[in-house]
Chain A
Amino acid sequence: MMAFGGNKEGALSGQKNFKQYLRSYALVIIFLGVCAVFAIASPTFLQPTNIVGVFRQIAINGVLALGMTLVIITGGIDLSVGSLMAITGVVSAMILENNPNMLAVALIVGIGAAALMSMWTAVLVAKMRIAAFIASLSTMTIARGVALVVADGIPHTIKDTAYSEIGNGYLWDPAATGGVGFPVLVLILIVVAVITAVILYNTKFGRYIYAVGGNENAAEASGVNVVKVKFWTYVLNGALCGVAGMMLAARITSGQPNAATGYELDAITAVIIGGTSMAGGSGKISGTIIGALIIGVLNNGLVLLGVSSYYQQIIKGIIIAVAVLLDMKTKKGN
């Protein structure tokens, strides 16, 4: 009897686990569902080169979305990310133009410039307590202007092959592995994902990020330096924008002052689809990565199916709403 009872209990908890499983993996199920549709509709979709292509296509938006996740968990938002990316691209390309052998310097200064620029948002939000939407709108405009001024309005070509390898190269030669390589861009995405996950889950700073977004007053009362946490979250995000800007510049082999316009929306979309609450206090790195993957797969699959770009936008909009609705429902169920 004991054994039977134990079995019964096991079966019950198994059922419960399945429900929980379904709830916590709703996003994954949507993602796999979308993939299944495209796999049936297009023979190209599941080909290794195309799958690698999709991962490469989400890498830049993925890095941007990871930084955005941190900001949104604090209850903020950053609209300036595209403009910050442009600054990094322009600065690094122009340094290389004048000093052809200083790739490392160009990248560090370029990424540093984006982080420095993001301090404008950081100060306005953390110190001056201006709404993040407005503060980052200010930075978005200023940073775009800075990029245009620095670049004198024109694109600057990157002739350095090592730089362009970051955007277009592979870890090993695709020809040697039957046409499939491991893009450098994807490696960068993985590294950034691991770093942000470690910061968010395994450090005091990460716990404070959640605390500030969950309840700012409570966090303050329990001794969290809210100003400091917010400030460094925006600066960290700025540095990640710099990394994304470097990736884009490498991909398009040029630093363009008008690059990455509108990228903030794709990044925010990935974060929202990934289940991070706009109200702050909750959110996961894995969710954001899947959010970015869903967007990437949609872009890729709709092109493969030859869907007119006008319809593509409608479909993407619907998917965003469906994903968020579904996520809200499953969370309520929990």
Chain B
Amino acid sequence: MKKLTAVVLAILLVAMVAVGCSGTAEPSASADPSKAAESSESAAQPAEDAGKVWKIGISTQSWEHEFLKNMVNALQAIDESMPDVELVIVDSEDSVEKQLNDVDTLIAQGVDGIILNADSVEGSSQAVVAAKNAGIPLVELVSLTENEDYDTFVGTDVKASGLLAGEMVADMLGGKGKVFEIQGVMGHSAQINRGAGIAETLEKYPDIELVESQSGEFTKDKAMSVTEAWLAKYPAGEIDAIIAHNDGMALGAMNACISANRPEIKIIGIDGDAEALQAVIDGTMAATVVDDVETESKLAVEEMVSILNGNEPKGKILAEYMPVKTAEEAKVWLEKRQ
């Protein structure tokens, strides 16, 4: 019995250590031994601040979402290309409690600053308090918190994506038609603001009717079943366009329309996921609004470094949304994201 305990424990420990090591070899890992070398090299570059490597903790929403995966990829690329930063990127798995715990853990670890991609407008506010109590700067990336004690917000005016998507729909329909909306997770800031933008635009067109809005909870399969229900309820000609609050849901709607043989329905998404860009190239999706998360991530890290180097925080840095309506435009973005 004792032997068994010992053997199992030994396996456990070896496994833990092994995984720990392989973990640190990951690009997202905290301990990146190459950084030390890089930073000494960087002393040769005049722009660098005496070779100081800033350790920046980043807490994000769940990496299950492709938009977040694009963000994480972009951040990992920045980690490799910028010699004066070391990024520790942590996945909150969409749990606000885990996000707050992770930020505490990052602070305990002694990071120089926190970049927060907030899970919840209200709930993640406590992370801002934690960073403030620890006396380190906090930059918010893409999503905002209610607590405005952060140093700088880098992202987009989320409502602008809704406005842009709404304009594209109105344009495609020639200002007349029946539009359906698939919303994100109810209460999510993207759902609230994108929805507000879409509603605001469509209200300007008296001949466009927003027939139904349902939540697809930001998932493809839920959006697909919502769309299937609509397709059963509304015969051909009663649905002109479907706007989804993200590309994943737009793709779900697209699949439902393809299986039901309703190709006349125009489908518009937001984010610029690889699969959605491909769908625009293939002509199965009408358009998407690209959220340029690569640029936003870079701006956020650069702003954090600037603050750490003693510069005044800029408070707010906004990036523009990019409409993608043609195969050519989609190809440009697809190459960037692969």
Contact = CB atoms under 8 A, between A and B. Distances in A.
Contacts of B24: 305-307
A154 to B, nearest CB: 4
Given A154-B187, A155-B123, A308-B28, A256 B1 contact: no
A256 B122 contact: yes
Contact of B19 (A153, A256, A307): A307
A194 interface: no
Given A60-B97, A155-B122, A157-B122, A30 B1 contact: no
Contacts of A326: 4-5, 8
Contacts of B91: 308-309, 312
A252 interface: yes
A227 interface: no
Contacts of B260: none
Interface in B14-56: 15-17, 19-20, 22-24, 26, 28-31
Nearest to B29: A306
Given A307-B23, A308-B23, A252 B96 contact: yes
A330 B88 CA distance: 39
B177 to A, nearest CB: 27
A253 B16 contact: no
B125 A304 contact: no
A330 B17 contact: no
A30 to B, nearest CB: 7
B187 A252 contact: no
Interface string B95-118: 111101110111011100000000
Contact of B105 (A22, A50, A258, A312): A50
Interface in A246-279: 248, 251-254, 256-259, 262
A155 B187 contact: yes
B126 A168 contact: yes
A44 B110 contact: yes
Given A33-B9, A33-B13, A311-B22, A254 B122 contact: yes
Interface of A: 19, 22-23, 26, 29-30, 33-34, 36-37, 41-42, 44, 47, 49-50, 53, 56-57, 60, 148, 151, 153-157, 164, 167-168, 248, 251-254, 256-259, 262, 299-300, 302-312, 315, 318-319, 322, 325-326, 329-330, 333
Given A252-B100, A315-B15, 20 more contacts: A29-B9, A34-B12, A37-B13, A49-B108, A50-B105, A53-B105, A53-B108, A154-B187, A157-B146, A168-B129, A251-B126, A252-B97, A252-B126, A302-B23, A305-B24, A307-B23, A308-B28, A308-B91, A311-B22, A333-B1
30 contacts: A22-B2, A23-B1, A34-B12, A37-B17, A44-B108, A47-B108, A50-B108, A56-B101, A56-B104, A148-B186, A153-B187, A154-B187, A154-B192, A157-B146, A164-B126, A252-B97, A252-B126, A254-B122, A258-B187, A259-B123, A299-B101, A303-B90, A305-B20, A305-B24, A305-B30, A307-B19, A308-B26, A315-B19, A318-B15, A326-B8
